[in-house]
Amino acid sequence: MNIGQASSHSGVSAKMIRYYESIGLMPEAGRTQAGYRVYSERDVHLLRFVRRARDLGFALEDIRMLLGLWQDDARPSAAVKEIALKHIDELTRKIAELQAMKRSLQHLAEACHGDDRPDCPILDDLGSPGSRGDEDRCH
């Protein structure tokens, strides 16, 4: 299988397959005499693993560890769960951060007429020297 086939079978772009190889996430692919990379079903399986883990938001360094555990028949499931829980915490943190931004912005946007007149609570807030205004009062 060429890299193009491996790509379409795994959902990982050829560019990324080469990159994963370069950082040691994927084993070095075999080569034809002409230098083309050659992939097996097993490689495609690995790539799909990486793609799924990426879809769940894992960083490549986490995926490196997950791949190691996946291929280790004697792994303790606790090791896997720990990585997953750490990532869940990270997701929770990011979600809360974005939600705080969204809440503040929504309050400001609701207060803004959105017409031809120049007065705008959004700019007033951004430019005010004091505190954020509604963020501390509300919720």
Partner DNA sequence: CCTTGACCTTCCCATGATGGGAAGCCTTAT
Partner DNA sequence: ATAAGGCTTCCCATCATGGGAAGGTCAAGG
Binding site for a second copy (CB under 8 A): 8-11, 45, 48-49, 52-53, 55-57, 66, 69-70, 72-78, 80-82, 84-85, 87-88, 91-92, 94-95, 98-99, 101-102, 104-106, 108-109, 112-120, 122-123, 125-127, 129, 132-135, 137
Under the binding rule (CB under 7 A), the answer on residue 77 touching DNA is no
Q: Which of 78, 59, 79 is nearest to 68 (CA)?
A: 79
Measured CA to CA, the distance from residue 128 to residue 115 in angstroms comes to: 21
Under the binding rule (CB under 7 A), the answer on residue 27 touching DNA is no
Q: Per the structure block, which two tokens stand in for 112?
A: 């803004």
Q: Which is nearer to DNA, 4 or 68 (CB)?
A: 4
CA torsion through residues 8, 13, 18, 19, sign: negative
